[in-house]
Amino acid sequence: MADTKKKLKNNRTALGGWMLIPHPAIAEIMAGEGFDWIALDMEHAAVDLSMVEQIERAVRPSGCDLFVRLDGVNPILAKHVLDAGAKGVIVPNVRSPEDVDIMTAAVRYPPQGNRGTSLARALDYGRNFDEYLRGHNDNVFVAVMIEHHLAAGRAEEILARPGIDAAFIGPYDLSASLGVAGQLDHPDVLTSERTILDACRRTGVAPGYHVVPPERARIDERIAAGYRFIGCSLDTHFLMHGCRSLLQT
């Protein structure tokens, strides 16, 4: 079982880094600093499947889990990134229980799902076929992103579906769906976030949040609020923050 999944099952917090710059060196540096997981973004960054393989190779020695944010509710892409070696998927813009069912089935082998078997890299090209299949359905990680106010209104219905490890709030898209893009402290945004957090508590799904500013105090605020699957800024912001700090006079 992946370490992130174990932590969340034991009601502990799992901190992750976020990658928009698709380069193995970025992944290697970030994973080496002790994140529990790294999310490679295929929704908003120029990432192809060959890069998923290269980044997984870079991350693996650290023991950090590599998750891939897909480009949408895309069962075919989910199969490809898992075959490339990712430990799980983060599914953006989930709107319904049916979306959940599609994706939780896509990442699991029969009889629990419909993922096709292969001799792909994740299975060591067939050398690890039996062992991989034996444990995969229990070990694969699935986080759904609830990032539209209409989905927030159905959060408990969505999260009651089996096979979800975490529910991730996308604060910027959530605010945009409410007509207040980027206003993360707007009352309507905060109300939707509380609705999602309450649904997580009732369904037993680990609540997640992406804290974009690279500030530990903001991460601690989310932990205190009850979030346990937390994205900690992103590579581009780490780079900008370091440059700005150095150049300040």
Residues assigned a catalytic role: 44
* CA gap 248, 8 in Å, rounded: 39
Cα separations in angstroms, 154 against 108, 134, 144, 169, 214: 25, 34, 13, 14, 31
* CA gap 222, 200 in Å, rounded: 14
* CA gap 175, 88 in Å, rounded: 26
Which helix H or strand E contains 151, and what residues bound it?
Answer: helix 149-153
Residue at token pair 């120029």: 46
Q: How many CA atoms lie within 13 A of 57 on its CB side?
A: 12
Q: Where would I find the beta strands (DSSP E) of the chain? A: 14-19, 37-41, 65-69, 88-91, 141-146, 166-169, 206-211, 229-232
Write out the DSSP string of 182-237: T-TT-HHHHHHHHHHHHHHHHHTPEEEEEE-S--HHHHHHHHHHT--EEEE--HHH
| Closest to 41 (Cα-Cα) out of 184, 207, 210 | 210
The phi, psi pair for 151, rounded to 5°, reads -70, -35
β-pair type (141-146, 65-69): unpaired
